[in-house]
Amino acid sequence: MNATRGGISCDVLILGAGPGGYAAAIRAGQLGLKTIVVEGEKPGGTCLNVGCIPSKAMIHVAEEFHKATSFAISGKSALGISHSKPKLDLKQSVAWKDGIVAKLNGGVSGLIKKAGAQLIQGWGKMLDGKTCEVQTKEGTKVIHAEHVVLAPGSVPVELPDLPYGDKVISSTEALALEKVPARLIVVGGGYIGLELGTAFAKMGSAVTVVEFADQVLPHYDRDIAKPVAKSLTDLGVTVHLSAKAKSLSKDGKALLVEDAQGKELSLAADKILVTVGRKSRMEGWGASNLYLTMDGPFIKIDDQCRTSMSDVFAIGDVTGEPMLAHRAIAQGEMVAEVIAGKSRRFDPAAIPAVCFTDPEVVVVGLSPAEAKKQGFDVKIGMFPFMANGRAMTMESDSGFVRVVARTDNHQVLGIQAVGKGVAELSSSFTLAMEMGAVLEDIAGTIHAHPTQSEALQEAALGALGHALHI
């Protein structure tokens, strides 16, 4: 990097080293562009440090503990396995999780360096569309860039009457607890709330979910949400639907809730986990110094992630829904190639969404209702895991795979699944969508037996009117 005008010059400046930012930095470096990525905390962003990765680690801890606990209860295991009651050292579990995060942090830093890009640790503030001032441990650094990529990410939404602090926590604090709360209230029955709520229920918390909508996972259709709701009931989780979280009680020991009938409830709690969504991070990095056209609360971009300012790009959560790490990674890689002069557009056929609930949920493309709303006449094929041999041998016969296709030409418009381990089917679903598969493509593809993936083939066969195993 060359010093100029009292600062550092580069081809590409990336603000934020989350999934999108570090992917952009790696690809830009690979393409020979002089690249600097600025990050105020550890590389990896929310996903790696306090989101996707640590939450999945704790979900695994909870699943293993719950499994061991069920084996310790006489008569619970049909497998013939039994042992004494297990104990959970949550502090040790968190340390194990932190070790995974630290290893991946180092991996990201190493990949950035290997690609020839430079990571500067410090809080960056854009002074204009070409200049960033960074506060580092060594002092202030000024960076001048030909191209800027904004990737500041998102932050949890805070409820005005339930500000974070002490008893009220966000997912970040929930993943750092060293003791399982005896009574945990989860405000918000979306995927974050249910992932963590389910995990703590399996670790021994008495969990209560308060959801404003009339079903859990309100952004998914009822067929998808139903097996998840049943699992919550089986775990002993109390769910209040069409309910509004109001505030803490005067003594601070309970959450006041207005239920579906308008009655006020007082729910005692040791911790209150608020998971009502995330919002784009538009403060703290100099957004007010830029002239950006907004699309509601998000930065407006085109199909190359260009903003309204010349040579200023934006990627990831700050650009809108879906706020998913893999979307940001794809955008970051593409933007680096656009800056390098390659012809690229961000136009995916579908972006998969996964809920690591119990059972897991995968949604790719259009649901039946969404397809019909867009004017498509559709054929629907659904295959239940209770008819899948592999699922039965894993005690995971809850849920199904569903395929939605056009009636006229059989093009697949969407694939959804709910069931144990279905997250690993997401790539197959997305690939089928991206390659423009028709029902006959999936039905005619030989799927390995016995695997859960056979449910995809069977769903396609079912949509064609001749499923084999149901």
Mean pLDDT of 43-47: 95
Number of H helices and E strands in the chain, helices first, is 13, 25
Q: Is 317 marked as binding a ligand?
A: yes
> Does residue 5 carry a pLDDT above 60?
no
Q: Is 147 marked as binding a ligand?
A: no
- CA 127/CA 135 separation, integer angstroms: 13
Q: Is 309 marked as binding a ligand?
A: no
Instruction: Give the CATH class of 8-48+95-154+279-340.
Output: alpha beta
- CA 274/CA 170 separation, integer angstroms: 5
Angle, helices 19-30/325-339, rounded to nearest 10 degrees: 30
Global pTM value: 0.95
> Does residue 187 carry a pLDDT above 90?
yes
183 contacts 268 by C-beta, under 8 angstroms: yes
**Where are the extended beta strands (E) located within 40-172?**
118-121, 123-126, 131-136, 139-150, 154-156, 168-169
Q: Is 458 marked as binding a ligand?
A: no
Q: Is 324 marked as binding a ligand?
A: yes
Q: Tell me what percent of the residues of the chain surpass a pLDDT of 90.
A: 94
Burial class of 269 by CB neighbour count within 10 A (0 to 12, 13 to 18, 19+): buried
- Give tens-digit pLDDT for 382-399: 999 999 999 999 999 899
- Give tens-digit pLDDT for 15-31: 999 999 999 999 999 99
Q: Is 325 marked as binding a ligand?
A: yes
- Give tens-digit pLDDT for 288-321: 999 999 999 999 999 999 999 999 999 999 999 9
Mean pLDDT of 108-137: 97
Model confidence at 1, pLDDT cuts 50, 70, 90, reads: very low
Which residue is associated with the tokens 């803490």?
A: 248
112 contacts 77 by C-beta, under 8 angstroms: no
Fold of 352-464: Enolase-like; domain 1 (3.30.390)
- CA 186/CA 442 separation, integer angstroms: 40
Conformation bin of residue 277: beta by default, left when phi > 0, alpha when psi is -120 to 50: left
**Alpha carbon of residue 16 to chain centroid:** 18
**Where are the extended beta strands (E) located within 308-449?**
312-314, 353-355, 360-365, 378-384, 400-406, 412-419
Q: Is 190 marked as binding a ligand?
A: yes
pLDDT at 183: 98
CATH number 3.40.630.40 is the correct assignment for the domain at 168-276 = no
pLDDT at 294: 98
Mean pLDDT of 418-440: 97
pLDDT at 72: 82
Burial class of 459 by CB neighbour count within 10 A (0 to 12, 13 to 18, 19+): buried
Q: Is 116 marked as binding a ligand?
A: no
Distances 31 to 99, 229, 388 between C-alpha atoms, Å: 32, 48, 46
- CA 53/CA 43 separation, integer angstroms: 13
Mean pLDDT of 236-241: 98
- Give tens-digit pLDDT for 87-109: 999 999 999 999 999 999 999 99
pLDDT at 82: 82
Closest CA to 401 of 136, 270, 252, 224: 224
Looking only at the bridges linking them, the beta strands covering 168-169 and 271-274 are parallel
Catalytic residue among 60, 449, 466, 469: 449
Model confidence at 4, pLDDT cuts 50, 70, 90, reads: very low
Q: Is 59 marked as binding a ligand?
A: no
- Structural element, H or E, at residue 90: helix 90-114
Distances 309 to 82, 305, 438 between C-alpha atoms, Å: 64, 11, 41
Q: Is 56 marked as binding a ligand?
A: yes
Query: Could you give the count of Cα atoms lying within 13 Å of 37 in the half-sphere of its Cβ?
Result: 35
Mean pLDDT of 321-332: 98
pLDDT at 74: 58
Active site residue 240: no
CATH topology agreement for domains 8-48+95-154+279-340 and 168-276: yes
Distances 268 to 195, 249, 255, 257, 271 between C-alpha atoms, Å: 21, 9, 6, 11, 9
**Ranges of each domain in the chain:** 8-48+95-154+279-340, 168-276, 352-464
Residues in the chain: 470
- CA 354/CA 356 separation, integer angstroms: 6
Which of 71-80, 104-113, 187-196, 349-358 is predicted least confidently? 71-80
Residues 6+ apart with CB under 8 A from 139: none
Q: Is 153 marked as binding a ligand?
A: no
